[in-house]
Amino acid sequence: MCDLDHARQMLNIAKRDLKALGGMLDPDIFAYEIFGFHAQQTAEKALKAWIAALGGSYGFTHDLGLLLSSLTNMGADCSCFSELPDLTIFAVHFRYDDAGDDCGFPDREEVLEQISGLVACVEEILS
């Protein structure tokens, strides 16, 4: 599969995750760990799509900071997504930890807006 085909496939998966994330805004229904996990997954797949679109590779990682660093090293301007690495902890750690209440988790609407912006950015790159 060529890099652009792979990038489009990853972005399509990210867009499905984003759609699900939009349905998880109610904290009475979805615990913050579940929302955070899907937010992290959406961002991870979108960042991997971006890397693939630029012809790069990303290996096996869930670390959003590492993915952003890779993009920066490839010359991409990722400055408006600098808060995304905060979601990395939801990739594994909080999936298996009963952390209780939201512990200061960022506003869900803000997270959704930032990740929606990331997906739109990658979509524009691929168009």
Task: Please provide the DSSP assignment of 92-120 as one string.
Answer: TGGGG----S-TTPPPHHHHHHHHHHHHH
Going from N- to C-terminal start, the domains of the chain cover 3-126
Tokens standing for 61? 């990682």
pLDDT at 109: 95
Which pLDDT belongs to residue 98?
58
Strand extents, DSSP E, 11-124: none
- Per-residue pLDDT for the chain (127 aa), expressed as one digit of tens each? 568 999 999 999 999 999 999 999 999 999 888 899 999 999 999 999 999 999 998 988 999 999 999 999 999 999 999 999 999 988 876 555 655 555 567 789 999 999 999 999 999 999 9
* Superfamily grouping for domain 3-126: Nucleotidyltransferases  domain 2 (1.20.120.330)
116 burial type by CB count under 10 A (0-12 exposed, 13-18 middle, 19+ buried) = middle
| The pLDDT value given to residue 121 | 97
pLDDT, position 70: 96
- What pTM, to 2 d.p., does this model score? 0.90
CA 24 vs CA 10, 74, 101: distances in Å: 21, 33, 16
